[in-house]
Amino acid sequence: MTPFLPLLIFMLVRLIYITLETPAGANAGNKSLNVLKRRFKMSFRFNRKINNISMLFNGHYVDVKALYVLRFNTLPCISFIGETDPTKAYAYIKEMFDKDVKEIYQHSFFDHDQGETFFNNTIFIMANERMIEIGSNYCHLLHNTTDYGWARNTVQALAGFRIANAAASTATAQTRIIGFAKHTTMSNN
C-alpha cells in the first residue's frame, strides 16, 4: 500500500459526492463547485504573468512602472525625488550600486548646436527587484515591499544632488499650464 492511496480514495469519494449532490442540469446551484471555481479564478488572476506591453511605451520612452510590472510581475513601491541634478545622480548610482546594476537603458538625443549627445531618461535595473529612473530633473526609485530602508537611504543621498536655486533660475524653471484654450473663431458665447 502506497502512502498516497488514502488521499486518492478520499479524492474519489469527494468527486462522487459532488457529482451525486448535483441534480442533472443544475450546476449553478452547486455551492462547493462554484467556490472551487471562484478560488481557482482568483488565484489565476493574481498569479498570471502580465504580457500586455501596450502601456510600456507610454510617452517618449519606456514607462518605468510598466517595465517594473512586466519584469518582476508585481506592483512597485515608488519614491520620487524632484529637482535633482541628473549628472550627479547618475555618477552616484554608478559608483554606489555598480555591483547591483544588471542592465541600463537610456533614451538620448543629439543636440546640433552643442554637437553632443545628452540623455533624457536612464533606467537602471538592479538586483533584489529594484529599479531607478533618472529623468531630466527627477529620480524615481522603484522597489518591492521589503526595501523601505534601502529606499529611504537612497532618497536621502540623491536629495543631496538638488539643483541649486531651481525655482529662481529661469534656465531650469518651467511654468506648466494645463487647461483648455478657446479658439477665437469658434463661437462668441
Q: Is 129 left (phi over 0), alpha (psi -120 to 50) or beta?
A: left
The reported pLDDT for the residue numbered 174 is: 58
Q: Which helix (H) or strand (E) holds 41?
A: helix 31-47
The reported pLDDT for the residue numbered 13 is: 83
pLDDT along the chain (189 residues), means of 10: 75 78 56 60 54 67 87 92 92 93 91 88 94 92 94 94 65 52 51
The mean of the pLDDT values for the chain is: 78
Q: Residue 124 has which C-alpha cell?
A: 537602471
- The rounded Cα 113 to chain-centroid distance in angstroms is 36
Q: pLDDT > 90: what percent of the chain?
A: 37
Which residue, among 154, 162, 118, 156, has the nearest Cα to 138 in the 3D structure? 162
Handedness of CA 153, 146, 132, 66 (dihedral sign): negative
